[in-house]
Amino acid sequence: MANPEMETRTIRNFSLDFEPYVLDVFAEQHKVGVLTFKSSMHCSFIYDDKWMLDGFDISPHINVGRDVEENDINRFIQNLLPEGTGLKCLLNAFNISRLSVSGMLNHVLGESAGILHFESRESVTPAYLELTSQMLSKRLDTFSNVVIWNNQFRLNVAGVQKKLNVHHKSDRSFWLANKEFPSTHIIKFAEEEHSTIILNELLCMRLAKAIGLEVASVELLRVFDSHGKSKHSAISIERFDREALSNGTIRKLHIIDGCQALNLLPEHKYEQIFGRHPDVAHCRDGASLKALFAFARQHEFSHQNVMQMLYWVAFNLVVGNSDAHGKNISFFMDINGISLAPFYDILSIVFEARRINNLDTDLAMAIGDEFDSSNITAFHLLSFAEEVDVTPTQLKTVVEQVALDCKRLATPVLCSDESMSKAELENLAQLIIMINQRADYFLHQTSLFDEVKKALL
């Protein structure tokens, strides 16, 4: 049996041994503050004096001019870290513990979602390196990682899917970013057998734009090998937190995601924090639509922004994007306050689930109290309207408009600038059929609003 006295001594020694690890936090060339890790798991943060005079809050929970709670800065930082396969590569390649926030952050210092980057007092600047199609193709062929190049980890955004953030030059070449040339695009990859997921996201994102949602611009990318053959597809997504200036430099804009907005850990991006097992399904402390709309109202979002959020919810329902969780929505933050950022990561998970066994199609955030993406009824929609403080008529108008616009605009023309194989076109056609069916279903549900309201009285 372990000797408790020895154990305590070991733990004390461990914490005494940890030299504070200090990172300077910058917004482009301006110093924002200092982050100090007193253990690998916990950090504290203080704003720089000058930033306090003319800067802005980096999060609604980390305020200039107020003491920063350690829990708040820790949650904020954890939301910047990679997830999924990228995170696994990072942990394995550099032998880092999943619990070591400083260890992980140390490899993603150069950029983040938004304006911030971090500088360690002994950090090595990552190289600006061209990423050719052949280099990527080799990695994708052998199922190896796409995130470590020259022994440096180069992924600086969250998310589970295989991806990289890159600087896209006007000559259409892609480069691993550095301080001088920050990333302008995110490339998301798919293995050969899952290429439909790329076309799915391409169509849904373009459809969202066509019906009037503010969304990131997307393009299809074929990854060619040295023989000019393309086995792998990817989607290139333009970053909305970057702006190309006329002198060729890139300006960064600050964004926070829904988890940072709600002061939640990244693990709480799903409303049901422990999953949907009946024993724990009632634990709904994660990101929710109710909380996100309350946040929008608390920060006095414009009516147009609130309506965009409502259109986003309706669109996700119609296309079957059940995975719209707390990190799949973001907000701009600057000296003028907080506003809604364009949307991203929209694809039909319900459609993918037809091919991929056991793919979870439960809604990340409930409509009313319902998480089943194929069972949202007029009753759930009406409960949702009440929760987010919109009238049934407002919701009905939005859902109907989205459904009718999707029926009108969901056509292969949305992707006609991309060359596609017969099988890919057939796949898109199937997706469009499904979107039409779901649009009809939601039109029917909204037609039942008055009847259901009467029955509830």
x/- map, 207-246, ligand ATP, by CB under 6 A: ---------x--------------------xxxxx-----
State which residue, 215 or 403, has the beta carbon closest to ligand ATP: 215
Ramachandran bin of 159, using left for φ above 0, alpha for ψ from -120 to 50, beta for the remaining angles: left
Which of 85, 328, 361, 427 binds ligand ATP (CB under 6 A)? It is 328
Should residue 263 be labelled a site residue for ligand ATP when binding is judged by CB under 6 A?
no
Q: Of residues 41-80, which lie at the interface with ligand ATP (CB under 6 A)? A: none
Phi–psi pair at 117, nearest 5 degrees: -140, 170
Alpha helices in 332-421 (DSSP H): 349-352, 378-387, 392-409
Should residue 328 be labelled a site residue for Mg ion when binding is judged by CB under 5 A?
yes
Got the DSSP string for 296-339?
HHHTT--HHHHHHHHHHHHHHHHHT-TT--TTS-EEEEETTEEE
Closest approach, Cβ 331 to ligand ATP, in A, equals: 11
For residue 28, which of 332, 257, 250 has the smallest C-alpha distance? 250
Phi–psi pair at 66, nearest 5 degrees: -130, 150
Query: Using CB under 6 A, which of the segments 20-28, 126-134, 157-165, 379-387 binds ligand ATP?
Result: 157-165
Which of 344, 351, 379, 384 binds ligand ATP (CB under 6 A)? It is 344
How far apart are the two ends of the chain, measured CA to CA in Å?
65
The number of beta carbons lying within 10 Å of the beta carbon of residue 129 is 17
The per-residue b/e assignment along 239-261, b for 16 or more CB within 10 angstroms, e otherwise, is: bbbbeeeeeeebebbbbbbbbbb
Closest approach, Cβ 97 to ligand ATP, in A, equals: 22
Which of 160, 283, 356, 429 binds ligand ATP (CB under 6 A)? It is 160
Count of residues near Mg ion by CB under 5 A: 3
For residue 63, which of 341, 329, 333, 287 has the smallest C-alpha distance? 333
Closest approach, Cβ 310 to ligand ATP, in A, equals: 21
Count of residues near ligand ATP by CB under 6 A: 22
State which residue, 79 or 305, has the beta carbon closest to Mg ion: 79
Closest approach, Cβ 299 to Mg ion, in A, equals: 22
What radius of gyration, in Å, describes the C-alpha atoms of the chain?
A: 23
Binding site for Mg ion (CB under 5 A): 159, 328, 345
Binding site for ligand ATP (CB under 6 A): 83, 113, 157-161, 163, 186, 216, 237-241, 257, 323, 327-328, 330, 344-345
